[in-house]
């Protein structure tokens, strides 16, 4: 049964991810991927923390949200591919800025999500 939850969450996450992809490369910066990953990091912290309290009796729903929805929303492989694209274009400054901002901000917003999730739990 957990596969149904993961499938449904994944379908929703993929549709949201697709919507974000429309924003990609409007100014040379992969805005859509960046926003999807940052939002996903925040929601993973928030919902992952809240899930411990609220979804304890329904682990399938927790899997649907974290593995399905947020797993499909975020995209580490696209992020890596975009970094390699900057490398091939010899856009070293963009590569470094994109990588550092994504990693640092991702960890920061995930931490903020965890803290907020703990307050709501």
At 120, the pLDDT band (50, 70, 90 cuts) reads: confident
Tens digits of per-residue pLDDT, 63-89? Answer: 999 999 999 999 899 999 999 999 999
Tens digits of per-residue pLDDT, 17-63? Answer: 999 988 776 678 899 999 999 999 999 999 988 887 777 778 888 89
Q: 33: annotated binding-site residue?
A: no
Q: How many domains is the chain built from? A: 1
Two tokens at 100? Answer: 């550092």
Which residues form the domain of 56? 2-120
Yes or no: say if 85 and 19 are a contact pair by the CB < 8 Å rule.
Answer: no
Two tokens at 92? Answer: 């070293």
Rounded Cα distance between 81 and 33, Å, is: 11
Whole-model pTM: value is 0.89
CA atoms within 13 A on the CB side of 115: 6
Residue 26: the pLDDT is 64
Count of beta carbons in the 10 Å neighbourhood of residue 103: 13
What lies within 8 Å, CB to CB, of 119 at 6+ separation is: none
Q: 74: annotated binding-site residue?
A: yes
Summarize the confidence of residues 97-108 as an average pLDDT.
97
Higher local confidence (pLDDT), 121 or 73: 73
- Rounded to 10 degrees, the C-alpha dihedral 30/32/33/39 comes to 140
């Amino acid at each position: 049964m957990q596969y149904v939850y993961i499938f449904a969450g994944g379908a929703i996450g993929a549709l949201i991810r697709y919507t974000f992809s429309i924003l990609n490369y409007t100014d040379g910066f992969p805005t859509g991927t960046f926003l999807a990953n940052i939002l996903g990091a925040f929601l993973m912290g928030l919902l992952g923390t809240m899930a411990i309290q609220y979804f304890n009796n329904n682990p399938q729903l927790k899997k649907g949200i974290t593995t399905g929805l947020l797993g499909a929303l975020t995209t580490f492989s696209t992020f890596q591919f975009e970094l390699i694209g900057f490398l091939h274009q010899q856009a070293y400054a963009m590569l470094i800025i994109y990588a550092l901002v994504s990693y640092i901000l991702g960890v920061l917003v995930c931490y903020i999500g965890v803290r907020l999730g703990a307050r709501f739990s």
